[in-house]
Amino acid sequence: MVDVRDVHYAIDGRPIFAGLNISVRRGLITAVMGPSGTGKTTLLRLITGQLFADSGQVSVFGRDIDSLSNSEIYATRKRMGMLFQNGALLTDIDVFDNVAFPVREHTDLPESVIRKLVLTKLEAVGLRGAAELMPAELSGGMARRVALARAIVMDPEVLLYDEPFVGLDPISLGVILRLIKQMNQALGITSVVVSHDVQELATIADQSYLLSGGTVVASGTPQELARSDSETVHQFMTGSEEGPVRFHYPAPDYASQLLGTDQE
């Protein structure tokens, strides 16, 4: 469904990906995990054709995204949905219009049909009653659920989730987890979940990739990752400060900097 092959990508000369390989299979939930700053969001932008790889290939629905024209990229995006970390709802229109937005933009369906469609999707995320609220009146968890309703309103084949669990209370988190699973099982939507919440992902993912240093350091089912001998995998799965992924940003020697001996 989505194939990332030997992708290299750098921002301002700083390499983000150096030979990244990820394969997302139809109908499965694929988790992409990694410490902050490993380019998880960049990966989603490569898949949606907002960024292009410096080298390597990103193919979506069997077509190389790099070779597509602008209108073909837009056509490809209509088959995808994406859930943003903060929801990214349009703040000047209410919940109903937000969910209806892609439908109104891309179809000529009569308003009565749009209404049913939107209410169905809002019901699926439990927010049919909030249809008339403005985005500013929603809590973080509710905003994300509305954004999820918007992401599925065009019945996408692939759903991309960007850090869907960040900053949620336990109840909202449980709801989002259940919804991701539900979207996948009931609607057969292929899902790519980008996150660093290992425990949550382990409960829903069929396939996991762990990114570090611009490449995949481990892949497999969550159970396989948990049993891995790799130090990086172990450090990440257990949340330890000690290990190959350093907690400290590179800095001059601590003692000499405090004592001022490294200054001229």
Interface with other proteins (CB under 8 A): 12, 48, 50, 74-75, 77-78, 80, 82, 84-86, 88-91, 101-102, 105-106, 147, 150
Compare residues 134 and 226 and give the one whose CB is closer to other proteins.
134
The minimum distance between CB 78 and other proteins, in angstroms, equals: 5
Compare residues 40 and 150 and give the one whose CB is closer to other proteins.
150
The minimum distance between CB 122 and other proteins, in angstroms, equals: 17
Compare residues 150 and 196 and give the one whose CB is closer to other proteins.
150
The minimum distance between CB 88 and other proteins, in angstroms, equals: 4
Compare residues 104 and 227 and give the one whose CB is closer to other proteins.
104
Compare residues 77 and 145 and give the one whose CB is closer to other proteins.
77
Distance CA 254, CA 252 (A): 6
The minimum distance between CB 167 and other proteins, in angstroms, equals: 15
Short-list 77, 81, 53, CA closest to 67: 53
The minimum distance between CB 178 and other proteins, in angstroms, equals: 23
The minimum distance between CB 145 and other proteins, in angstroms, equals: 15
Compare residues 106 and 246 and give the one whose CB is closer to other proteins.
106
